[in-house]
Amino acid sequence: MQTNAGFFEEKKLDPSRDIKLLRQLFPYMRPYRLMLFLSIVMAMGITLLDLSLPYITKIAIDRYIVPRTGIQIPNAAEIRFLTVDISVRETADIVQRYPELFTVSGSSARIAYNQLTKLSQKDIQTLRKLDISGITLLSAVFLGIIILDFLFNFFQQVIMEYTGQKIMHDFRMKLFTHIQDMPITYFNQNPVARLVTRTTNDVQNMQDMFTSVIAFVFKDLFLLGGITIILINMNLRLAMIAFIVLPAVIFFSIYYSKQARNAFRIIRTKTAEINTHFSETITGMKVIQLFRQEASNYRKFCKTNHEYYQAGMQQVHVFAIFMPVIEILGITAVAIIIYFGGVRVLSDQITIGGLTAFIAYMKMFFRPIRDIAEKYNILQNAMSSAERLFQILEDTDKDAPRLTCETGLSDQIAEAPLTVISSLEARDICFGYIKDEPVLKNVFFYMNAGDTLAVVGPTGSGKTTLMNLITRFYTPDSGQILINGRDIQSISSEQIRTGIALVTQDPFLFSETIRENILHGSRDVSKINLEKVLEAAHCKELIEKLPHGSETLLSEGGASISSGERQLISIARAFARNPELIILDEATSYIDSQTEQKIQQALTNLMTGRTAIIIAHRLSTARLANQILVMKKGRIIESGTHESLMTRKGFYYMLNQMEKIQ
13: three-class secondary structure by DSSP? coil
Contact 479, 430 (CB under 8 A): yes
Q: Which CATH architecture has domain 18-64+132-393?
A: Up-down Bundle (1.20)
Backbone angles phi and psi of 89, in degrees to 5: -60, -45
Q: Are 170 and 193 in contact (CB under 8 A)?
A: no
Cβ-defined contacts of 46-51 (< 8 Å, 24+): 46/149, 46/152, 46/153, 46/156, 46/219, 47/219, 47/222, 47/223, 47/226, 48/226, 49/145, 49/148, 49/149, 49/152, 50/149, 50/223, 50/364, 51/223, 51/226, 51/227, 51/230
3-state secondary structure 574-622: HHHHCCCEEEEECCCCCCCHHHHHHHHHHHHHHHCCCEEEEEECCCCCH
Task: Give which of 246, 243, 262, 364 is closest to 312, Cα–Cα.
Answer: 262
Q: How many residues does the chain have?
A: 662
Q: How far apart are CA 551 and CA 527, in angstroms?
A: 13
pLDDT tens-digit readout, 226-238: 888 998 988 888 8
Q: CATH assignment of 506-578?
A: 3.40.50.300
Full strand arrangement of the beta sheet holding 486-487: 440-448, 423-431, 478-483, 486-487
pLDDT of residue 631: 93
What pLDDT sits at residue 474? 87
The confidence score (pLDDT) of residue 589 equals: 55
Per DSSP, the residues of 19-87 read HHHHHHHHHHHGGGHHHHHHHHHHHHHHHHHHHHHHHHHHHIIIIIIS---EEPPTTSPPEEEEEEETT
Three-class secondary structure of residue 429 per DSSP: strand
How far apart CA 662 and CA 649 sit, in angstroms, is 19
Here the contacts of 349-354 (C-beta below 8 Å, separation 24 or greater) are 350/234, 350/235, 350/238, 351/58, 351/61, 351/62, 351/66, 351/68, 352/61, 352/62, 352/66, 353/57, 353/58, 353/59, 353/60, 353/61, 353/62, 353/63, 353/65, 353/66, 354/58, 354/62, 354/234, 354/235
Closest listed residue to residue 165, CA positions, set 29, 37, 273: 29
Residues of the chain with pLDDT under 70: 1-18, 68-78, 215, 261, 396-419, 521-528, 587-596, 661-662
Phi and psi at residue 488, to the nearest 5°: -65, -15
The whole-angstrom separation of Cα 269 and Cα 185 is 22
Domain boundaries, the chain: 18-64+132-393, 421-499+581-587+610-662, 506-578
Kindly state the DSSP code that residue 476 receives in the 8-state scheme. Answer: -
pLDDT of residue 635: 94
* DSSP letter for each residue of 356-402: HHHHHHHHHHHHHHHHHHHHHHHHHHHHHHHHHHHHHHT---SS---
> Quick check: do 421-499+581-587+610-662 and 506-578 share a fold?
yes
CB 312 within 8 A of CB 217: no
pLDDT (0 to 100) of residue 150 = 93
According to DSSP, the β-strands at 627-632 and 452-456 are: parallel
Is there a contact between 68 and 80 (Cβ–Cβ < 8 Å)? yes
**In the prediction, which pLDDT does 137 show?**
93
From CA 615, how far away is CA 455, in angstroms rounded?
5
- Give just the sign of the alpha carbon dihedral 121, 123, 126, 128: negative
* CATH code, residues 421-499+581-587+610-662: 3.40.50.300
